[in-house]
Amino acid sequence: MAASKARAASLAAMNTFPAVPDVSPAVPDMSPSVPDMSPPVPGTSPAAAPPSLHRRRRRVKDGMLSGLIYLCAGITVCILVGLIGYILVQGLPHISWNFLSTAYSARDKALQGILPMIINTLYIVALTLLIVTPIGLSAAIYLTQYARQGRLVKAIRFTTEVLSGVPSIIFGLFGYTVFCVMLGMGVSILAGCLTMAICILPTIIRTTEESLLAVPDSYKEGALALGAGKLRVVLGIVLPCAMPGVLTALILGMGRIVGESAALIFTAGMAYDMPREFFGHILQSGRTLTLHLYQTASQATDPDAFHIAYATASVLLILVFLLNRLASLLSRVFNKNPGGRAG
């Protein structure tokens, strides 16, 4: 029994192997560490680093620039409001129905109305727009839709831009020489209308041209792909879509006509007679509201002249405001569903 136990122990000792040590090299962890992008919890995150010197300087410059912009805007608004307010305060008390509906006489103090000047202004505005609208619109359509974009078109555009900056007194001298003297029209409303047509023609062309260029090419390409002709595309697609810009050009020209004085002194004259014939009046001389304002304001010795001048200026401001409102309303109407109108 003891011998068998000793033999079993010897066999167990023979089957037991020594432990082999692990000699394999350790592999380092090469996976990139992902930074913690979670927002810091208030009260637990470390304090933020102070802003750099460049950032502080940029903030100071931005603040100074913003303050300068607001200051300039405030000064401009204050000057505009003060100017308009002063004119209205001085002129509105002297505006009455008798002032708006009676004639004017330099000799009779009872006749100090501005009705002839209002009629002359409406004559010049209506006739000038009637002359300049088809010419300016046709020129803009040709330059944008038909003309080859080359040196000639660039030269025409440059010329129109230069003419937009020419002083109106030069247009007046040209109109007096050509229309009043050479063509024998004399100093008349018709000569003033032709002169004003030349004055506002560059503005009409350039503004209408920019409006036509703003129409997307996809509209024209789609209409041409459906078999529409060039003229139908221009009149049925491009022009209706550009109509808000065209109306803006006409309103700008109308404002130029209403506020013009230098060119009309040479061509339209300073007469203040009440019109007697509807069509025959365009061949007669007639002053506008702006010329009447200049004439009455130049009479510094008469206290009533300043009242008439301020009242006339107030009427002009109200008229310009109404024209601007008309422009915004018409643009709003034409801006509604332009694609539906074009179709």
Could you tell me the CATH number of the domain that includes residue 295? 1.10.3720.10
Q: How many domains does the chain have?
A: 1
Measured distance CA(313)–CA(87) in Å, rounded: 7
Q: What's this model's pTM, rounded to 2 decimal places?
A: 0.73
Residue 315 belongs to a domain: yes
Residue 231 belongs to a domain: yes
Residue 78 belongs to a domain: no
pLDDT the model gives residue 11:
52
pLDDT the model gives residue 337:
54
pLDDT the model gives residue 181:
92
Question: Which residue in this structure is represented by tokens 């300039």?
Answer: 72
Residue 65 belongs to a domain: no
Domain range for 106: 92-342
Sign of CA dihedral 114, 115, 121, 125: positive
pLDDT the model gives residue 342:
45
Residue 235 belongs to a domain: yes
The token pair at 42 is 């208030």
Residue 82 belongs to a domain: no
pLDDT the model gives residue 39:
54
Q: Which residues contact 250 (CB under 8 A, 6 or more apart)?
A: 129, 133, 204
Residue 57 belongs to a domain: no
Residue 313 belongs to a domain: yes
CA dihedral in degrees (316, 320, 323, 324; nearest 10)?
-160
> Which of 96, 83, 116, 84 lies closest to 307 in space, CA to CA?
96
Sign of CA dihedral 310, 315, 320, 325: positive
Low-confidence stretches of the chain (pLDDT beneath 70):
1-51, 110, 300-303, 334-343
